[in-house]
Amino acid sequence: MARLQKHERLANEMVKVGIVGGTGYTGVELLRLLATHPGVELRAITSRSEAGRPVSELFESLRGHVDLVFSEPEPERLAECDLVFFATPNGTAMKMVPQLLEAGVRVIDLAADFRLRDPAVWEQWYGMPHACPELLEEAVYGLPELNREQIRTARLVANPGCYPTASALGLLPLVEAGAVDTSALLADCKSGVSGAGRGANAAMLMGEVGESFKAYAVPGHRHLPEIRQTLEWVSETPIGLTFVPHLVPMVRGIHATLYGRLNGDLDLQALYERRYQDEPFVDVMPEGSHPETRSVRGVNHCRIAVHRPQGGDMVVVLSVIDNLTKGAAGQAIQNMNLMFDLAETTGLEQVALSP
Of residues 171 through 210, those in contact with a second copy by CB under 8 A are 184, 186, 188, 190, 192-194, 196-202, 204-210
For the CB of residue 2, give the shortest distance to a second copy in the complex, in Å: 7
Report the alpha-carbon distance of residue 88 to residue 79 in Å, rounded.
18
Report the alpha-carbon distance of residue 90 to residue 222 in Å, rounded.
11
| Cα 325–chain centre separation | 7
51 is a site residue for a second copy (CB under 8 A): no
353 is a site residue for a second copy (CB under 8 A): yes
Report the alpha-carbon distance of residue 176 to residue 275 in Å, rounded.
10
Instruction: Name which position in 16, 106, 223, 255 contacts a second copy (CB under 8 A).
Output: 255
Instruction: Name which position in 90, 150, 269, 350 contacts a second copy (CB under 8 A).
Output: 350
Site for a second copy in 307-326 (CB under 8 A): 307, 309-310, 312, 314, 316, 318, 320, 324
Pairing state between β 314-321 and 302-307: antiparallel
Longest Cα–Cα distance in the chain: 61
Site for a second copy in 82-111 (CB under 8 A): none
- 2 versus 138: smaller Cβ distance to a second copy: 2
Total number of residues that touch a second copy (CB under 8 A): 95
For the CB of residue 244, give the shortest distance to a second copy in the complex, in Å: 6
Instruction: Name which position in 121, 177, 251, 262 contacts a second copy (CB under 8 A).
Output: 251
Q: Is 302 a catalytic residue?
A: no
- 132 versus 241: smaller Cβ distance to a second copy: 241
| Cα 355–chain centre separation | 24
Site for a second copy in 131-170 (CB under 8 A): none
Long-range Cβ contact pairs of 102-105 (< 8 A, separation 24 or more): 103/2, 103/75, 103/79, 104/1, 104/2, 104/3, 104/5, 104/6, 104/79, 105/78, 105/79, 105/81
For the CB of residue 186, give the shortest distance to a second copy in the complex, in Å: 6
Report whether 123 contacts 130 (CB < 8 A): yes
Cis peptide before 355 (omega within 30 of 0): yes
In angstroms, what is the C-alpha Rg of the chain? 20
Report whether 348 contacts 321 (CB < 8 A): no
334 is a site residue for a second copy (CB under 8 A): no
For the CB of residue 26, give the shortest distance to a second copy in the complex, in Å: 11
32 is a site residue for a second copy (CB under 8 A): yes
Q: Which stretch binds a second copy (CB under 8 A): 83-91, 98-106, 121-129, 342-350?
A: 342-350
Site for a second copy in 273-292 (CB under 8 A): 283, 285, 288, 290-292
Report whether 353 contacts 297 (CB < 8 A): yes
303 is a site residue for a second copy (CB under 8 A): yes
Residues 6 or more apart whose Cβ sits within 8 Å of residue 347: 33, 34, 36, 37, 38, 39, 40, 333, 337
For the CB of residue 81, give the shortest distance to a second copy in the complex, in Å: 20
Site for a second copy in 212-241 (CB under 8 A): 212-216, 218-220, 240
27 is a site residue for a second copy (CB under 8 A): no
Enzyme catalytic residues: 162
